[in-house]
Amino acid sequence: MNAFRILVADDHPVFRFGLCSLLGSHEGWEVCGEAADGRDAVEKCAQLKPDLLILDICMPKLNGVDAARQILKANPGQRILVLTDVNSDQVVRDCLEVGVRGWVFKSEGTDDLTAAVGALQRHKSIFSPRVSVLVMDGYLQRHRTGPAAAKTPRLSPREREVVQLLGEGKTTKDVAVMLNVTVKTAETHRSNIMLKLKLHSIAELVLYAVRNEIVHVQLPAVLHLPSPEWPSGRYPSSP
């Protein structure tokens, strides 16, 4: 009996190592490859043709939503399980729209993950119960805010790619190289995006990308500052 082949795409090496170890220890499952960013995931899916792709949303170069869109456009039958800590009803809806049929949060247990992999192995769809809560909360929020929210322009998949790369600090020339287009074409995409979104600076574009879950920012660890009563961090000794 052939092994169930799994490709793991996550940009955190330690998490990826643990996930591969967990999956590889399961009888009948085989980790056939790893990817550290969204573009790598797209390329390795095409090369390795795994039975299942386990995909994070917070991926550099190409986020999980847009990676899934490209993968499923090329191969509509590809099974994808999103494994992430992103809590966004918009991201969930975008993933459903492109054809993702599995979603588990990283905060859930290993049993939930292996159950999800097993379900997709049997060609079943499976989503964390929290997904339905997210979608319903998002629907109710949009209903309360009225139709104004629907007027926000939607970017094309290529425009989303450009926004992510610019939001990650890439220059227009870098964008052109990564997308295999001319610098002029990249500049045109950038101008069209700024015009469509009515933005006037790269700083505003980065903020848009973060707010709309195209670029994900890792927050730094909280610093423990000294109490104002004790300058320079000097604390009284214990009695």
How do 4-9 and 52-55 pair as beta strands?
Answer: parallel
Q: How confident is the model at residue 8 (pLDDT cuts 50, 70, 90)?
A: very high
Instruction: Write the pLDDT tens digit of every residue in 21-38.
Output: 999 999 999 999 999 999
pTM of the model: 0.78
- pLDDT reading at 227 higher than 90: no
- Write down the mean pLDDT value for the chain: 85
Q: How confident is the model at residue 145 (pLDDT cuts 50, 70, 90)?
A: low
Overall average pLDDT of the 66-80 stretch: 96
- pLDDT reading at 53 higher than 90: yes
- pLDDT higher for 237 or 154? 154
- pLDDT reading at 141 higher than 80: no
Q: How confident is the model at residue 239 (pLDDT cuts 50, 70, 90)?
A: very low
- pLDDT reading at 54 higher than 90: yes
Instruction: Write the pLDDT tens digit of every residue in 167-224.
Output: 888 999 999 999 999 999 999 999 999 999 888 888 888 888 888 878 876 544 443 4
How far apart CA 44 and CA 32 sit, in angstroms, is 10
Share of the chain above pLDDT 70, in %: 82
> For 112, phi and psi rounded to 5 degrees?
-65, -40
Q: Which residues contact 85 (CB under 8 A, 6 or more apart)?
A: 58, 105, 106, 107
Task: Write down the pLDDT at residue 151.
Answer: 59
Share of the chain above pLDDT 90, in %: 62
What are the residues facing 104 on neighbouring strands?
A: 83
Task: Write down the pLDDT at residue 210.
Answer: 84
How far apart CA 120 and CA 2 sit, in angstroms, is 16
What are the residues facing 35 on neighbouring strands?
A: 9
Task: Write down the pLDDT at residue 77.
Answer: 95
